[in-house]
Homo-oligomer: A and B are copies of this chain.
């Protein structure tokens, strides 16, 4: 399936540093392969979500970092 991914900072950590994520329907404990911009990670489902239309997976911060999507939340600004 294809769609949007977001990340969230409040998820439970995985055992032994395992990458974790939230999915609406996949079984708890199952492993997803998530690909973005040519990179693929595996993360274990340990939560439910996301509940926003068009989003298909919510990644923990370590998983988002491994997938290289953290910098996507950084935008150019000017400050006065």
Give A residues with C-beta under 8 Å from B: 1-7, 9-10, 23, 32-37, 55-57, 67, 69, 72-80
Could you tell me if B72 and A75 are in contact, using CB atoms closer than 8 angstroms? yes
The copy count of this chain in the complex is: 2
Could you tell me if A4 and B75 are in contact, using CB atoms closer than 8 angstroms? yes
How far apart are A30's CB and chain B's nearest CB, in angstroms? 11
Could you tell me if B9 and A77 are in contact, using CB atoms closer than 8 angstroms? no
Could you tell me if B75 and A5 are in contact, using CB atoms closer than 8 angstroms? yes
Could you tell me if B74 and A6 are in contact, using CB atoms closer than 8 angstroms? yes
Q: How far is the CA of A77 from the CA of B37 in the complex (A)?
A: 8
Q: Which of A4, A7, A79 has the most CB of B within 10 A?
A: A79
Q: Which residue of B lies closest to A41 (CB)?
A: B77
